[in-house]
Each structure stands twice: as C-alpha cells, then as structure tokens.
Structure 1
C-alpha cells in the first residue's frame, strides 16, 4: 500500500465513529445546566405560584393525592410549567412523556399516543406533556381527544398564549386551564440562594461569593423567569472563577449587558401592552402612556407599528376636540422615518404625551359608525333629486338638481330648508360634539344650525328631524 493510501486510510479511521465509553453519572450530572440540575423535586421546592399551589388549594390537594387531571398550563416562560408537569407524573406514579409542538409532527404524536395506550392497557398511566401546544393546528390538537376521553393519557399542555384564542374548543372542554404567573423577584432570589447553597446539585462548595444586591440585580434582569435567572447566575459564577470566586459589579456588567424584558411581538403580552398604551392615552394619563410606549420599544416592537397606532388614537380618541393631534401624529411618524433610532423614539414619545394630555372626543368615530349602520340598513337609497348633478340637458329635464339651493347665496351662508339625506331616511343626527376642546365651538354652531333647520321645517309643515344613529 502506498504512503498516500495509508494516510487516507488513517484519516478514515479517525473520522469513523467509535463505541462510546459509558459516562460517569456524576460527571454527566455536572455537565447539565444549573437550571436543569436545580429543577424542583417536590412541590415544596417550587418557587412562585403561591396562589395556584398554596397549601390546601384544590390543585395541590389533587396532586399530592395523585389524582391528576388533564390541564392547560398558561403562563410566561420560566414560571414552572415543565416542572409542574414532571411533578404531576411523580406524585401520580405515572410515566412521563414530553413532546414539543415546535419539533414534533403528527406521526410522532401518534407514536407517543400508541405507546401510552399500550401502557394504559398494562395498568400504568402516562402524563403527556406538550410544550407550546398552541403551535399545533386544529387537526393535531384533535388527535389527543379520544385518548384524553379514554383516560390513556393525562394531557398537560403548556402555552404562553391565551388558550381562548389558540386552542380549539374541543380540547379546552376536556382540560382545566390553570393560569401561572411570572415569578416575583423575591422568589427568584430565594431560588438563587438555594442554588448557591446546594452542594449536590448547585454551586455549593465552589466558594462563590455574591452580595444580596447582586442577586437582586440578577433576579430583576431575569424578568420573572427562574430558568433565565439560574442561567445568568451560572455564567456569573464561571466568570467569577477568574476573580477568586467573587461575583463583582464588573462581573454583573458583563453578564447583564444585554438584558431584555419579556415581550412577544405577536402574542398575548404584545396585545396587552398596546391595549395599555391606548387606554392610557384615552384616560389622559401621559405618564402611563410614555411608560407603555417605552416598554414596547424596549421589547423590540416595530416603531412603525407604534406610529400607526398613535395616529389611530389621534383619529379615534382625540378627533375634532383637537385636530392638531392628527397632524402631530403624522409628523412624528415622518420624523421617525427620517431620524431612525434612537433619536426618532423621542418623536413618538412626544406625540404619545401630547395625545394623552390634550382634549378627547370620539364623536367623529361614533358618527361614522352610526352612519355605517344606516348604510347597511337602508342599502342603495336614492339620492334626492335636488342633490344630483345635472351636466346634460336630458338630466335637467328629468329633474336632476331641481330645487337645489346654493348655500353661498342663502342668508347666513346656509340653506336651512334643504335635506342632505335620501327621502326614505329623513333627517339624521350622527355627529354629537362633546363639550371639550375645539368641539365646544363646533357644538355651539351646529346646535344653532340644527335648531334653525328644525324651525324651517316646522314652518313648511315637514316632519321633525333629529333622529340619529
């Protein structure tokens, strides 16, 4: 064999798979992330969820008695959904199986369900944990129904999204929804202390020194997510190894440099926060409005979306009480497009503060909706003859434009005895200005005109007006 061929063969031998030597269990455990090693082994070790898992609560009594039921766990990341499902199987002495709606398709789901059915026939239950269940479509969700009904699985679905919107009614009717809350900073600090003290699973015995204030900073950065807090602590501990085991302020600066708040750009938190921004503007609370704007920008919300929503608020909630608001919103949008971030954020903040501070009126919004309702009710009602255009001789002979009163020639600049509605409808009143901002003046003028029109109709013996949507 030539040298070249021997070298190639040797390279192939190096690349070929070799039998793995069984790993040392202790070493294997040490390789697992801190958050996984510190996963609670009992209900007493869980932090947070004081309402749901309080001693004597219905769920806790059921779990401790091993009487588990199919459920949906709805809550933010890191609040303990996976841990609780593991404990359900442990307390019920059931097999635990987990699948992810992101990674698993229908064939894998069917295989897991078939295995659970065989296990059930042999006298053992299965707790089937489905992470991010909201990502399964209706057909995939329906696949679980007969197995839940038969009892061959205890279904536990975890979701960060509102189950009312994301899960089909058939699945919801067979499961109880339990709402889990973000873990408080105080409870997260307790979990961090436990990890530092635990010599078996945690960092105890490694000589890690950290002040209480540093733990609180990590807890605040974790933003309600215990798993994230433990990961940050683990990274800090690794960096501290080069500084004598002490987690210093400079260590935290490195670990927490890119901290972000929880924000799902298309989920429940997104719509909750935009709702809070809109309602703060409507409630004339500029401080709350600029806070929610800052929260959404900090969380990664598209600033163009916020500019569009602020423009909508100018139309819907400020309206004609302050017509300047609409132009200011459009100007702020344009300013942001020109400046970009971060300078353009100030333009959005400025208009949010102004919209919240100025006079409010939804009178134009309400008027339009009332007019739309009449459009649907009366359909294609005929345009009155006096309002029709008459560009040809034939149209004039047919009566188009006959009787029209040119307002500029009328006394006061308004032809009072002239309707603007189809005959089948009669006069309508949609726009009812409020007594705020510019609409105070508009209301005074329109009240006078409406009274004058009504008087003119009475003199001619026509039916009264004023009906509105």
Structure 2
C-alpha cells in the first residue's frame, strides 16, 4: 500500500478517499488473498507469465477485486478501461470497444508492436443482462481486449456460460483479522488517518470485527475516525483511539454489531431458542435484529441449516431441504432480495415439529466411539472384491437384505463382534418420527422372533 497519503482528487483538489490513497501499487503490497497471490499460486503465476487472460474475480465487497484488476493492467502495461454494470449498458460497452481499438492502433510501429493492449474491467458484471454480456464475446475472441469481470454473486448463476467458458474464475476470500490489522498498521505507519498515531488493542479488535473481512469498510471507518479526531480538543485525544472513544464517536453502529462479542452470540442464541421453542414471531424478530445489526446473511443461512438438523431432524426432513434452498436463493440473489427466503426459512423451522433425536444419537455415538476404541469389522460385513479376500472369508454368510422377506434380514447383527447392540437413535412422538418409531418397533419384533 504505497500510495501517497496526501494524494488529492484531480477534480477539486480535495484529498482522495483513504481507500484510494492506500490502494496497493504492486503485488507485494497486496494484503490477503495469499491462496491466489502467494508464491506458486494461480494468480501470481498469471502475473509472472506476462500474458494477460480473461478472468472473473468472485468475492465479497472490499477484498481486492478492483485492485487486482488494476495491478493486472499495470503489470501487463495495458490500457485500463473500466465499466460499472450498475450504471452502464450497451453504450458504455461500445465506447470501451472503440477505446480498445484506438489503443490497439495508435502507435506508428503497429506492424511490429501491434499497439497497446487493453483490459476492460466490468465491475458488478452480474448486473449486466444476457445481451449485454454477449456483447463482449466477439472482442474477447478476437483478442481486441482482455476481459476482467468482478462480481459478488455466484458466476455460475449470473454470468453467461459462453463468457464464463472463456474466463478463468478466481474466488477471493474475506480478509482475515490478521489482514485487517495489517491494513490498520499500514495506515498508521503512513500517517494517513489524520493525527491518529495509535489504537488500543480493544478498539482494534472492535474495528476488525466491524469490518467483517471488508477492507473498504475498515478504511472508510478509519477515515471517519480521523476526521472526528481532528475536531476534538486537546492534543492527546487527537493522537490515540481508545475503545471508549471509538464507541463515543461511532456509537450505535459499533455497539449493535459486535461480531465475536457477547451481544452477537446472545442474539443468535435468542434466535435459535425461539426456533426451538416454536415461536415464529420471536424467531423472526431476532432474525431481523441480526440483519439490522449488520450480521452476514451467509452466516445466518449456515445457522439455519444447523437448526434444521439439530432441532427438527427427521421429525420433518423437509426442514433441512428448506434451509439449503434458502441458502442457495440468498447465494443467487444476494441482499436484500435473498433475505426474504431466509426469513421464510426461519418461520418454517419455527413451526415445524421438533426433534433432537438425531442430534442426541450423533453425540452419543461420537462419545461411545471415542471411549470404546476401534473394533474390527466383522468378516460377514467386509467387502470382498478379490479372490484373496474371499478366501479369507470376507463377506462370508452375509445376508443380502433385498433377498429376505420384506427386505429385512431379521436377526442379523451389524455391530462389531462382542459389542452389545446400542440404541443411539430414539425417535420422539412428533412429526414423521412417529411413523419412524412404529417402523423400528416392528423391526425389533421381527428380530426378537428370529432369535
């Protein structure tokens, strides 16, 4: 992040935003995304090859998609043309094509140099419709320019298959807390946050949690703090950020979303308990509280999947499918449209019949195996793909259930030899587990009669 801390906006002479001033100028300054940019990693190799290629950068906001695209243009000495799919359309695409054509043919030594290459960077490419995305294809094919798209949405759903097949997809991850701390350290080192020179560890923890993997959010918050510090009276207050001062300045938005803190886990606990308690209104209330406080909807989707397994299980197997579908809808639509599907799932889980029988069976089996050790698989249950294994009696006397009456080998033992059969799964008298319990009782009677 070598950018000049005093860099100004060319339009008005005002300082450029902090995020722009600290934007990395080379690969060595990029913080995070080591799985792509570390030594021997895919994007690093692409940079070192000297050959630009069309790609799609997929990841959440503030993780470096635009920065990487700009560095590609700089590294490959290419003209950088940027289009915002939120504001642009076919007109902007045509203008980009014209620019690329001009740069391709602007020099007098075209016969040897072929002009200057161009990179067309499309931010939020998922906002373009099919015809708009198709407009890039002939020019990507002809090599007029290299296409780079940035998206926060799953390109499998949002990018045309033709364009997708001509691009390499790179998945960027949210920045970790160590990465965010490093960004703060760079800002302090370059004296880019006004007069602020130091930050308390507690305040730094809160800032990193609030940023939630988003470098832009972190830097925008630091910029706000720098302005606020400049308006304070007293030299000591100008140079140091304490946790108390941070909360005083940013107030509610820092308190409401305390990821990793007590309030965050208290709220998710209240949501989970409301679902378990079959109260759809309370569950929806806590769900909306978390969204309003800035909780990541993808995290909420993961917790709903967990609730479907832990508290509903086989009492209503559709609950798990509902949770997975809601997560997929959010993945496809994003916010705010996808949040409605998550809310629908919250209500469904709350009104569904409840059972923790699977959850308890899982924990009991896990505890027994950890305590009991490893028992050998009985010979009749072992696979016998070779003659040697068959000669060693692997699979001998195994009873194929489909050949037995009612498809059930009554009296057969599937536990290790010498181990007492243990009942882990005990269905509750609710939902589909009522029928499951009836079935298991019927099978137990058959086993008893065969013995």
Q: Structure 1 length as normaliser, TM-score?
A: 0.57
Q: Is 1:209 the counterpart of 2:204 in the alignment?
A: no
Equivalent residue for 1:35?
19
Report if the CA contact (8 A) 1:68-1:92 is conserved: yes
**Contact 2:78 / 2:119 at 8 angstroms: preserved in 1?**
yes
Shift of 1:39: 0.5
- Displacement of 1:211: 2.2
1:359 and 1:25 mapped to 2: Cα distance?
60
Counterpart residue number, 1:234: 223
User: Aligned equivalents of 1:146 and 1:303: distance in 2?
Assistant: 37
After superposition, the Cα gap between the structure-2 partners of 1:111 and 1:264, relative to the gap in structure 1 and judged at 3 Å, is farther
SS at match of 2:61: coil
State which of 307, 310, 317 in structure 2 corresponds to 1:284. Answer: 310
Summarize deviations over 1:199-218 as a string: whole Å, max 9, x none. 5xx247x3533223322321
Partner Cα separation in structure 2 for residue 301 and residue 136 of structure 1: 17
Alignment partner for residue 78 of structure 1, among 54, 62, 65?
A: 62
Paired residues of 1:128 and 1:153 also in contact (CA < 8 A) = yes
Unaligned runs of 5+ in 1: 1-22, 316-324, 327-354, 361-428, 451-469
Query: Paired residue for 1:114?
Result: 98
User: Does structure 2 retain, via aligned residues, the 8 Å contact 1:236–1:251?
Assistant: no
Residues 235 and 173 (structure 1 numbering): CA distance in 2 closer, same or farther, change over 3 Å? same
Deviations 1:47-100 (A, max 9, x none): 110111002223212213432211000000000000000000000000111110
Distance 2:291 2:139 in 1: 32
Residue aligning to 1:87: 71
Mark the CA change 1:175 to 1:264 in structure 2 (over 3 Å): closer, same or farther: farther
CA contact (8 A) 2:8 2:15 kept: no
Residue 107 of structure 1 aligns to a residue in which SS? helix
The 1:444–1:155 alpha-carbon spacing in structure 2 relative to 1, beyond 3 Å, is closer
Structure 1 contact 101–132 (Cα < 8 Å) conserved: yes
- The yes-or-no answer on 1:357 pairing with 2:356 is yes
CA shift at 1:257, angstroms?
2.7
Q: Do the aligned residues in 1 keep the contact of 2:200 with 2:243 (CA within 8 Å)?
A: no
- Give how far 1:239 is off: 1.4
CA spacing shift, 1:441–1:207, aligned 2, 3 Å: closer
Aligned-pair distance for 1:445?
6.1
1:309 and 2:345 are equivalent in the alignment: yes
2:131 corresponding residue in structure 1? 139
Counterpart contact for 1:359–1:437, Cα < 8 Å = no
* Shift in CA distance, 436/156, structure 1 to aligned 2, threshold 3 Å: same
Distance in 2 (alpha carbons) for counterparts of 1:25 and 1:281: 50
Query: In structure 1, what is the Cα distance between the partners aligned to 2:78 and 2:343?
Result: 52
1:258 maps to what in 2? 253
- Distance in 2 between residues matched to 1:121 and 1:196, nearest whole Å: 45
**Alpha-carbon deviation of 1:143?**
0.3
Give the conservation status (yes or no) of the 8 Å contact 2:103–2:117: yes
2:8 and 2:14 in contact (8 A); partners too:
no
Superposed CA offset, 1:135-174 (max 9, x none): 0000000000011111111111000000001111000011
SS of the equivalent of 1:93 reads: coil
Q: Partners in 1 of 2:258 and 2:338 — Cα distance?
A: 15
CA distance in 2, matches of 1:198, 1:58: 31
Q: Does residue 1:437 correspond to 2:443, yes or no? A: no
After superposition, the C-alpha distances for 1:232-254 in whole angstroms (9 at most, x for unaligned) are 11111221221421223333112
What is the deviation of 1:310? 4.2
1:111 to 1:80, Cα distance in 2 relative to 1, 3 A: same
Distance 1:179 1:25 in 2: 31
Q: Is 1:194 aligned with 2:193?
A: no
C-alpha separation in 1, matches of 2:245 and 2:172: 32
- What is the DSSP-based 3-state SS (H/G/I as helix, E as strand, rest coil) of the residue aligned with 1:284? helix
Query: Equivalences for 1:414-429 in 2 at 5 Å?
Result: none
**1:182 aligned partner:** 174
Q: Which residue of 1 aligns with 2:164?
A: 172
The alpha-carbon distance between structure 1 residues 33 and 63, as it changes in their structure 2 partners (threshold 3 A), is: same
Decide which moves more: 299-308 or 121-130. Answer: 299-308
Q: 1:282 to 1:208 in 2, by over 3 A?
A: same
Partners of 1:100 and 1:181 in 2: CA distance: 22
Pick the aligned partner of 1:247 from 226, 241, 245.
Answer: 241
Q: Are residues 69 and 358 of structure 1, via their aligned partners in 2, closer, same or farther at CA, if it must alter by over 3 Å?
A: same
The offset of 1:231, in angstroms, is 1.1
1:264-275 residue pairs with structure 2 within 5 A? 270=297, 272-273=298-299, 275=301
Shift of 1:444: 7.1
Structure 1 counterpart SS, 2:122: strand
Distance 1:119 1:72, change over 3 A: same
